[in-house]
Every structure is written in C-alpha cells, then in structure tokens.
Structure 1
C-alpha cells in the first residue's frame, strides 16, 4: 500500500509512519521539517500545507492508496489538501478528536454522532479546537472524491508525546520523594496509545472503510491511581504518592488538566470525558495495549532526553511548579494533622 502522511515527524504522525513501514508499505511524508527528524525509510517532501503551490508540487506525478492527515486543525486548510489530493488518493483518513462530537463533553459522546456546527471552509478564528475539528471532518466528507475515514481519538499517550502529559508525570515521579497525587486513586481514566491509533487507522484504510470511529481505551480499563503507580514502577524512583482530596485542590487553585495533567474535579463533564464508547471500533478490529506498556515505553524514550531538554507541551506548558506542589502538600498535611 502507498501511504501519504500529512505530518509524519511528530507524535501520532510518527507512529503512523513507523507502523506503515513495519508493514512494508511505501510511505511519503509531507511537512515543513520543523517538528522533528524524518523516520528513516520515507520519501520526505518538504512543504507547507497552507501554500497551494506546495500541495500541487507534492501531488504532481504521484498517487497513493491512502492519505493519513494527522495535522489538520483548520477546515479551510484541510479543504485545500482535500481539493488537491482528490483523484490521486483512494481513501482520505482524517484524524479528528472526540472533542469534535456535538455537545461533548457536556453531553456524553455517541458513536457516529454529528460534529459541532462548523462550516467546511471555516478559518482559525471561527471556533475552538473541537468545533474546528468538526469543520475539518466536513471538509473531508463533503470535498473528497473517494472514501472518507474519520478517526476520533480520545486522550492519546505514548512515546514521542508532544502534549507532554505523561512525560511530565514521569519526570516528576522520577525525582522521587513525596508526590502530590490528585483526587482519589479510583478516579476514572480512559487513554489510548498513539501506536494503537496508528495501526487501527491503517487497518481501516487497507480495507476501504469509511465513516467515523471513536478510538480510545476501554471504559474502566484503568484508573488514575493505577496509571501513576505504573509511573512509579517504570521509573523505579520509589516515589510516595500522596493523594490529596479533590475539594482541597480546588480550594488551593490547582489547575485541572494542564497544571495537574489529566486531573479534574468530579463532575458530569469529567464522567463523560472518561466514558467514551468504542464498540464500533472494537468490532472493526481496534486493539489497545496495556497501560503499563505505554508507560514503560514512554519512559524508555523519555529517559534518553536530558531533563532540561524535555518539552512539556507545544501550546500549554504542563505540570505544577515544585514550590506550589510543596505548598499544597504542606497545607494538606497540616489540615490532616
């Protein structure tokens, strides 16, 4: 199979490239060459997807069985890629997000639900992340002359993660000592490894699938406590997890999701976020690896990067400052005493 990956040198795109090469596929990547080194074995084409001439140069004289678009965030921009690649690719696999589902997370996600209202030619200022992802989906579904495959992942973790939720926790826990662990150990969590999203996407493209799939781990597969315990085990740091009450963290103005990655106080929104249905994807062949494997492999990758060179998020810097963590722990212990 001939595979074109829009992106291909970062996080999920890199996982798609590596999975495709492992299967013996011919892989072309299209990117600006700024996010990371190319995976050996690809045909790397440099260009900016926001420049029509660059897209036309990419398409000239080439055809593929599938394009996997891992870096589409603006409908108008995705629409340009769709227009140029129509007729040169059999399947357009667009990696969207569960956040594109209309009403999510205030309402539970529903498989094959429509996306938020967003025009297929919307610009970058016409909505937030989830709304724009929904517009990107429409740009593919309405504009592509071929099979349109929409993959809507939940929270993606794994080696090369550039959002840096798991890398921050691994780095903090690797330092040892008393670690602020937020909420209850039994708090729900639902995550998926980037490599499993990549394999699922390629499998569906190979069989000519179309339509949308919610892709994440199984509901109830793990908890926050089990996840952080795996981080302690992987780093062999002997860190002590000190579980601090949700309400107390809110009082202390601990930041949800970014300052304490993947934590938020109990709410209906949180319950919806960690209960995304995946029956359709599982029936189509989705297989997800154990959380422990994702944690171990991410640490094996991360530990080769000097701590002062680690990136804790491209758009938002994840993690709590050491002095704030120490202050909250001290206040919690004083209150408990």
Structure 2
C-alpha cells in the first residue's frame, strides 16, 4: 500500500507511520517538521497545510492507496480532501469523542448526537475542538463519500509519547509518592467509566483499516474500564504499597483541584455530570472490525517511562505539584 500520512511527526501520526513501515507499506509523511522529524524509512515531504500550495509535493506520481489525517483545522482538511480525492482511493480521518453533543450516558456508541459544526476554516482555541472535528468529518465524508472514508472517533489516547501526561502521571506519581508512608491522593470515584486506548494499538488498527479498505464511523476507544481499575493498574505498574487517600469531589473542588488535566489536577477524573460518560463509549463496533487492545498495564508502564525521561524544559501538563499534594494530604491527616 502507498500510504500518505498528513503529519507523522507527533504522537499518533508518528505511530501510524512507524506501524505502516513495520507492516511493509510505502509511507510518505507531509509535515512542516515543527513537532519533530518523520520516522526513519519514510519519505518526508515538507509542506504547510495552511498554504494554498501546501499539498503540491504529494499530488504528482502514482495514486495513493490511502490517506491518514489527524488535523483539527477544517480549512486544512477541506484543502486536503479537494486536492487528494482525485489521486487517492480512500481517506482515514482521526476524529474525537469530543465531537459528541452528549457525554452523560453510560455504555454508549456512535449513535450519540453530534455537536453543531464549526463555521469557518480555523479552530481558534480548544473550546471549539469538538465542533471543529465535526466540520472536518463532514468535509471528508462529503468529498470521498462514505464508502471510501473511515472516521475514527478516538477516546483518551495514551502510552509512550503522551505529552499531555494524562496516561503517565498516575503510574509516575505512584512511583514517586510525596505523602507520609507513600500516601497518594486520589478522587473517591472508583466507578467512574474511563477507558484508555494505547497509541500503538490505535495506529495498528488505522493502518489495517487503510490497507483493507474498511469504511464507516467508529468509536476508537480502549476496553471499557473505570477510574478505579486504571488507578489499580497504575499502582501495580509502580509497585506502590502505600496508602491511597481518597477525597470527595466537593472537597477537591473546595481546595482547588481540577478535573481531567491541567495545573493542579487529578488526571482522568471527571466529576461534571454532563461529562461523566466521556469514557463510557463501548468501542464494540471498532473491535468487531479488528481493534485489539493490549493490557492497560503495558500502556501505563510505557507512559510512565516516557514521564521518567522528560527533559527539564518539558514540564508536566497535568497532575498535582509535590507541594500541593503534600498540603492536601496534610489537611486529610496524612
């Protein structure tokens, strides 16, 4: 297969390119190179997709069997669809579960209503991320048609290269506890639905779908799990045996602890009732066409190794600081 990856230098795009190379495919990556270089073994074409001629370098020569795109910018996707539809057989677009308008249901699937599409070509900030992806999905489906398109609405992606820190922070924290006797602070919410798909498993599935011509719309998520299950796996990975000190959502909010990610947060935790179902999509349809997930302990172990190797000038983007966690644990008597 001749595969064109639009990107290929950041976490998921790079994993797709590496997987395709491993599977024996001919891979070209079109990227600016801002996030890094493309993997060894691929043909790297420099191009800025915000430019009208940014795709010119991949339009000549034999047809592409498939294109993989992870962009969140509608203008970039529209230009790619217009330019590549005449020279590519199929298009694989990586969207997001944020495209759904409702996140309160449990054990949900692809039938959940979508957000209204974003007008315009540019997503200015993350507040319109879901709407922008809806617009991107529509552009691909309109241009290539449903029979030549796969839309993968990804859930939480983790593993090596997770710059957000969401999948790596908990095993890292359990390996480096700051509370007395090795205590670690956690939300008292073990039954919160939350799944995690390994970036390598997602990449493997995307490449297979591209090669086999799989079409459709799928929730590309990890095996159904809970916050308690993920924390237990993180403790196992770290060999943590100290106390797990839990606090209620109201207590954490009162003391300034954020949900999900960001400064002074407890990653993967969602207390907002309108978002508690974000991690509850079953992914059954994707698994029926080959999405296979490795044990979550392997994902967390490799995400933790990535955290351990962070450079000093690459600060963590989520989790509690040592100082904050010590203060909160002291308030709870630990």
Q: TM-score, normalised by structure 2?
A: 0.88
d(CA) in 2 for partners of 1:311 and 1:152?
A: 28
Aligned counterpart, 2:157 = 156
Q: Do residues 92 (structure 1) and 91 (structure 2) align?
A: yes
**Could you tell me how far 1:277 is from its partner in structure 2?**
2.8
Aligned residue number for residue 238 of structure 2: 235
Tell me which residue corresponds to 2:102: 104
Q: Is the 8 A contact 1:96 1:137 kept in 2?
A: yes
SS at match of 1:181: strand
3-state DSSP class of the match of 2:256? coil
Q: 1:187 aligns with which of 192, 215, 223?
A: 192
Matched, 1:196 2:201: yes
Residue deviations 1:102-137 (CA, integer Å, cap 9, x gap): x22245654255532216754324971111100000
The SS at the match of 1:188 is coil
Gapped regions of structure 2 (runs ≥ 5): none
Q: Distance in 2 between matches of 1:37 and 1:232?
A: 34
| Secondary structure, counterpart of 2:90 in structure 1 | strand
The answer for the alignment partner of 2:260 in structure 1 is: 257
Paired with 1:76 and 1:107, the residues of 2 have a C-alpha distance of: 32
Tell me the CA shift for residue 276 of structure 1: 0.6
The answer to whether 1:210 aligns with 2:211 is no
Is the partner of 1:93 in helix, strand or coil? strand
Where 1:30 maps in the other structure, the secondary structure is: strand
Say which SS state the counterpart of residue 45 (structure 2) adopts.
strand
Superposition deviation, residue 24 in structure 1: 0.5
Deviation at 1:275, TM superposition (A): 1.4
Query: How far does residue 42 in structure 1 lie from its aligned partner after superposition?
Result: 0.7
Unaligned segments of structure 1, at least 5 residues = none
The answer on whether the counterparts of 1:246 and 1:266 sit within 8 Å (CA) in structure 2 is no
Correspondences of 1:78-157 after superposition (within 5 Å):
78-101=77-100, 103-106=101-104, 109-113=108-112, 115-118=114-117, 121-125=120-124, 128-144=128-144, 147-157=148-158
Partner of 1:7: 7
Deviations 1:15-65 (A, max 9, x none): 111111110011111111121232111111111111121211232335311
CA contact (8 A) 1:105 1:273 kept: yes
- The reply to whether residue 267 of structure 1 matches residue 262 of structure 2 is no
2:302 paired residue number: 297
* Aligned-partner SS, 1:45: strand
The answer to whether the 8 Å contact 1:116/1:130 transfers is yes
What number of residue pairs does the alignment pair up? 324
RMSD: 2.4
C-alpha separation in 2, matches of 1:86 and 1:175:
50
- Partner-residue secondary structure (3-state), 2:223: coil
What is the distance in 2 between the residues matched to 1:138 and 1:164?
Answer: 30
1:183–1:265 Cα contact (<8 Å) kept: no
For 1:237 and 1:34, locate their aligned partners in 2 and report how far apart those are by CA, in whole Å: 38
Matched, 1:64 2:69: no
CA contact (8 A) 1:112 1:213 kept: no
Query: CA 1:226 to 1:106, structure 2 compared with 1: closer, same or farther past 3 Å?
Result: closer
Aligned equivalents of 1:83, 1:268: Cα separation in 2: 37
Distance 1:153 1:13 in 2: 13
